[in-house]
Structure 1
Amino acid sequence: MDIAKLTERLDACYSGAVYDVMRARGLENCVLPHSIVGLDNETRVVGPISTLRGVAFDANRHDEEVDYLLPWVEFLSTAPAGHVVLCQPNSERLALMGELSAETLKVRGVRGYIVDGGSRDNSFIRSIGFPVFCRFRTPRDIVAKWVPQGVDDPITIGDVLIEAGDFVVADFDGVVIIPKGIVEDVVTEVEEVISAEDKVRAAILAGTDPVDAYKTYGKF
């Protein structure tokens, strides 16, 4: 599997068409919760997934001799280029992305970051063009409150199981996960769907009745 080529092809697709193909395969449980959205309407990212899982702990716990932030920085230093990080933080309160982290990931060639949790410094993140999808925004950071527990382990977001190496398409409509074992076939089918939709669109704009266009191309 040529991951770079697949990513390039998938970048020409959109989440609705990907979902249609997944649904036709009986795999419609592929969409992350609709509360997970991009930082602005233009935010979009596709690519192979690297997963991150962590745990929050008692905010009152603090040991001056323990560097609680180091494990996070170590994650940033090893996040794989060309991938999208999907994070299950198991936290309803904290920001799992911020300005320095986003800039670090961007410089390292990470394609984007999707978290079932919070993000902060979002104006700056938008200004550097690093794609982030999150569930909420908050100034609360993770210092002495959260640590990563696993990288590239299976995670669940909503009711969707996600494994390292799966692919993601995230855009204005939502976030869709494609299992790695079928991604090549799905991308090919999505390209066929988009081509058929373009033919329907061209026919209707040329004056063809929508029913006739639908019967001719089988898409709408």
Structure 2
Amino acid sequence: MTPDRSERDGVRARFLAVGASAAADALDEFGLTDQGVHPGLSALSGERPAGWAFTVAGAMTPYEGTGDPAKMRACAEIGAGEVSVWAGNGEGVCYFGELIALGMAGRGSVGALVDGGVRDLRQLRAHGFPVFGRYRSPVQSIGRWRVTGAQRPVRVRGATTRWVTVRPGDFVLADEDGALIVPGPRIDRVLARAEELTRAEDGVREAILGGMSLQECLDAFGHV
């Protein structure tokens, strides 16, 4: 059963509370060891993107005309609590900018993960829209790069493997430590384990601040 809006908001808030590092440790424990996104994709605007993946695929290809209808359709289909994930091996051109962000935000989107170019950073930052991107570029995509489809599996550059596959309904979590992808069927278990790990880390932190040595904490709590 698809969770309702309040349930999705609750899951997002819980993921943001534990953060990407605890989620990454939980993924490792479940044998999902290659879910980290390449560190070259970093924060460009806003705070931390966190939400269900809405995938957008594209390709570098010359074309005639003054716009990309497929891109506009994708922008109109995203839903509340979703993070758009842009993929397509583009180089040097912008996939994503202010007006796309505003259109998606108006439909409830909560961020973007762009394995490509972003522009309009001053405006994006003024709006506070969360974007992780691979590079910045003022060069528009029209006539150079176009959307080839949406809501199908895409690949973004990985941290420990060349590519990470992102499927519609996976969970995108990005913060100061980087970005990762939680496979949709594992969201509940990964989140619950990440919360357990976070509570354990909180205990170690409190003990250290209370005067215990790191070795004493490791002896008492084990590795965290």
Give TM-score, length-normalised by structure 1: 0.91
Aligned to 2:160: none
Identity %: 30
Aligned to 1:206: 210
Amino acid corresponding to residue 155 of structure 2 in structure 1:
T
Give TM-score, length-normalised by structure 2: 0.90
- From 31, 35, 48, give the equivalent of 2:36: 31
Aligned: 1:175 with 2:174: no
Aligned to 2:23: 18
Aligned: 1:217 with 2:217: no
Q: Which runs of 5+ in 1 are unaligned?
A: none
Q: Deviations over 1:13-68 (max 9, x none)?
A: 2111111111122211001111000115x63111111111012212xx43xxx453
Q: Deviations over 1:62-112 (max 9, x none)?
A: 3xxx45333222221111221011110321121011111111112221010
Aligned to 2:72: 73
Amino acid corresponding to residue 14 of structure 1 in structure 2:
G
Aligned: 1:160 with 2:171: no
Partners in 2 of 1:171 and 1:29 — Cα distance? Answer: 18
Kindly indicate which of the two structures has a greater share of residues assigned to strand.
Answer: 2
Amino acid corresponding to residue 77 of structure 1 in structure 2:
A
Amino acid corresponding to residue 148 of structure 1 in structure 2:
V
Give 1:51-66 correspondences, 5 Å limit.
Answer: 51-58=55-62, 61-62=63-64, 66=65
Aligned to 1:189: 193
Aligned to 1:149: 148
Partners in 2 of 1:107 and 1:142 — Cα distance? Answer: 22
Partners in 1 of 2:101 and 2:111 — Cα distance? Answer: 9
Judge conservation of contact 1:115–1:135 (CA < 8 Å) in 2: yes
Partners in 1 of 2:194 and 2:223 — Cα distance? Answer: 12
Aligned to 1:116: 115
Amino acid corresponding to residue 9 of structure 2 in structure 1:
A
Judge conservation of contact 1:89–1:96 (CA < 8 Å) in 2: no
- From 2, 9, 14, give the equivalent of 1:4: 9
Partners in 2 of 1:137 and 1:67 — Cα distance? Answer: 22
Give, in angstroms, the shift of residue 200 of structure 1.
0.4
Q: Which runs of 5+ in 2 are unaligned?
A: 158-162
Q: Deviations over 1:176-220 (max 9, x none)?
A: 111111110000000000000000000111111222212222244
Give, in angstroms, the shift of residue 141 of structure 1.
0.7
